């Protein structure tokens, strides 16, 4: 998929390493840097691809995904917000509305290590169809040899969220995961278990990790994920650790190639 994206014609060259391109209905921001190639759809501020120099594509993206306005994309890193999973209210989209709405590119910066992109979604008539609250949501991507994503929400509300990453895995039986903790909830079998480290089949499980690390034994290449959650200001009831300060919730995920 990354080859298809980089073959798209450039609509606007923003900087020597950043360009705007179009994939069917969706506008993309494409990063072509000596240290990294990546692409982000403005719909959902959705990271579609991330390929550090000398590495394989890290993210998986379905070749059957329709790149249409308002249609959720399967693969990459969807931003699930302001709820994760099915909505408590019937008729609303699963995993929230942030992944289905257009965001704005608010800032970008590049250096010899990579690029930093900042996208913004603000409350509007479109969001109030699903959710009555006023908010500003920022997504920051630091793209290079590592990928760091920070989700920052401003407002007074209660939410759940996720950076729902799809990794490109050659052989599920050759993957081990450590650091997820001792307990999880199996969403298929509807029960909790104490420990799990190696996958041999499709799973749907919920962990509460601080740091997780996975290793693809087939390629012997290391992938690390470090989720961090902080909550600022008691008026914001976002899930995460409580820490006084700026009045924003920040969710941070880091992947290392």
User: Hey, CA dihedral for 228, 171, 146, 248, is it positive or negative?
Assistant: negative
Instruction: Enter the tokens of residue 118.
Output: 């900042």
Which phi and psi (to 5°) does residue 59 adopt? -100, 150
Architecture of domain 2-170+234-256: Distorted Sandwich (2.70)
* pLDDT for the residue 88: 79
Beta-carbon contacts of 200 under 8 Å, excluding residues fewer than 6 positions away, are 172, 173
pLDDT at 145: 94
pLDDT given at position 35: 97
In order along its 257 residues, the chain shows pLDDT tens digits of: 778 899 999 999 999 999 999 999 999 999 999 999 999 999 999 999 999 999 999 999 998 889 999 999 999 999 999 998 888 788 888 899 999 999 999 999 999 999 999 999 999 999 999 999 999 999 999 999 999 999 999 999 989 888 988 988 877 777 776 666 666 766 666 555 555 555 666 667 776 655 444 444 444 444 555 555 444 433 333 333 222 223 344 445 555 55
CB-based contact 46:99 (threshold 8 Å): yes
Q: Tell me if residue 173 falls in helix, strand or coil.
A: helix
What value, to the nearest 5°, has the Cα angle with vertex 159 and ends 155 and 164? 120
Measured in whole angstroms, the distance separating CA 162 from the mean position of its chain's CA atoms is 7
| Start-end of CATH 2.70.98.10 domains in the chain | 2-170+234-256
Task: Please tell me the predicted confidence (pLDDT) of residue 126.
Answer: 95
């Amino acid at each position: 998929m990354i080859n298809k994206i980089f073959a798209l014609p450039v609509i606007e060259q923003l900087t020597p390493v950043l360009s705007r391109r179009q994939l069917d209905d969706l506008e993309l921001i494409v990063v072509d840097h000596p240290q990294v190639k990546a692409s982000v759809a403005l719909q959902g501020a959705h990271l579609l691809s991330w390929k550090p120099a000398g590495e394989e594509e890290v993210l998986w993206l379905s070749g059957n995904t329709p790149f249409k306005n308002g249609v959720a994309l399967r693969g990459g890193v969807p931003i699930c917000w302001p709820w994760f999973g099915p909505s408590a209210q019937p008729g609303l989209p699963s995993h929230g509305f942030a992944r289905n709405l257009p965001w704005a590119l608010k800032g970008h910066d590049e250096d010899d290590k990579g690029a930093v992109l900042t996208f913004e979604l603000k409350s509007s008539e479109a969001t109030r169809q699903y959710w009555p609250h006023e908010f500003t949501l920022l997504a920051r991507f630091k793209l290079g040899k590592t990928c760091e994503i920070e989700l920052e929400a401003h407002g007074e509300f209660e939410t759940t969220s996720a950076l729902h990453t799809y990794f490109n895995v050659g052989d599920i039986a050759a993957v081990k995961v450590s650091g997820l903790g001792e307990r999880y909830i199996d969403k298929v079998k509807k029960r909790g278990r104490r420990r799990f480290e190696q996958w041999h089949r499709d799973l749907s499980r919920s962990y509460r990790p601080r740091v997780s690390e996975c290793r693809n034994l087939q390629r012997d290449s290391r992938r690390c994920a470090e989720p961090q959650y902080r909550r600022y200001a008691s008026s914001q009831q976002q899930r995460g650790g409580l820490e006084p300060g700026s009045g924003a919730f920040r969710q941070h995920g880091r992947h290392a190639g």
